[in-house]
């Protein structure tokens, strides 16, 4: 499983972004889009987290725990819809920023 350095340099970020497939890159770009989109699929978020090196564990009910670079977060898997709400997108953005995964300069 790939892990990210705590303080990534710009060249490290470019290398890590190149490790993502095109769908994961689109998902990452959508997370940082303003206004906040409400049509990002939950499965795409999970795939992005795993590609970035996050560990995933199932919580109680529809809760899913993620850990990335020492930062932990719990998200609620949406149901019955497949897309996460705008508030959850903001939480995902905050989680990635706290885990020092910010590739905005690469887009």
C-alpha pair distances (Å), 50 with each of 4, 16, 36, 46, 80? 12, 13, 22, 6, 23
Helices (H) and strands (E) in the chain, counts: 4, 3
Query: What are the pLDDT tens digits along the chain (107 aa)?
Result: 333 334 444 444 433 555 789 999 999 999 999 999 999 999 999 999 999 999 999 999 999 999 999 999 999 999 999 999 999 999 999 999 999 886 654 54
Element (H, E) at 98: helix 86-98
CA 76 distance to own-chain centroid: 14
C-alpha pair distances (Å), 23 with each of 61, 95, 104? 28, 20, 16
State pTM to two decimals: 0.79
């Amino acid at each position: 499983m790939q892990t990210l350095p705590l303080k990534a340099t710009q060249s490290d970020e470019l290398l890590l972004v190149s490790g993502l497939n095109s769908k994961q890159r689109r998902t990452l770009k959508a997370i940082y889009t303003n206004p906040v989109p409400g049509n990002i699929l939950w499965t795409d978020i999970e795939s992005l987290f795993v590609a970035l090196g996050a560990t995933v564990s199932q919580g109680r009910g529809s809760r899913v725990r993620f850990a990335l670079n020492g930062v932990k977060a719990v998200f609620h898997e949406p149901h019955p819809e497949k897309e996460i709400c705008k508030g959850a997108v903001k939480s995902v953005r905050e989680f990635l920023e706290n885990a020092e995964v910010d590739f905005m300069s690469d887009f």
